[in-house]
Amino acid sequence: MAEVTNELMYELLKSIQQEIHALKNGQGDIRQEMVSIRLSQLSSQNDVHNIYGILARHDERLEHIERRLELRELAEAQKPFDHDQ
């Protein structure tokens, strides 16, 4: 069996230190990727929120138009409004 010397321990500790440094660098890369994914998710969530707002405004406009059409039909008692004309 090989004798354990200070030089051998020093080389072993240097190797462990290099591996820990590589792990820390990898962890930093993963952290950056997670931040990027989180920002992308927030952007998508904001887009969906904006779409819901636009749909709500369109819904309000359609309701307003439908109410006006119903009022017109009531005013024209002799002939209901024909959507095909």
Taking the model in full, what pTM does it have?
0.58
For range 76-82, the mean pLDDT? 61
- Angle at alpha carbon of residue 61, lines to 60 and 62, rounded to 5°: 90
Q: Is 63 exposed, middle or buried (0-12, 13-18, 19+ CB in 10 A)?
A: exposed
Give the sign of the dihedral formed by CA 18, CA 20, CA 24, CA 27: positive
Residue 7: which pLDDT band, with cuts at 50, 70 and 90?
very high
For range 57-61, the mean pLDDT? 96
Helix, strand or coil for residue 3? coil
| Cβ-contact 63, 51 below 8 angstroms | no
Q: What is the pLDDT of residue 73?
A: 76
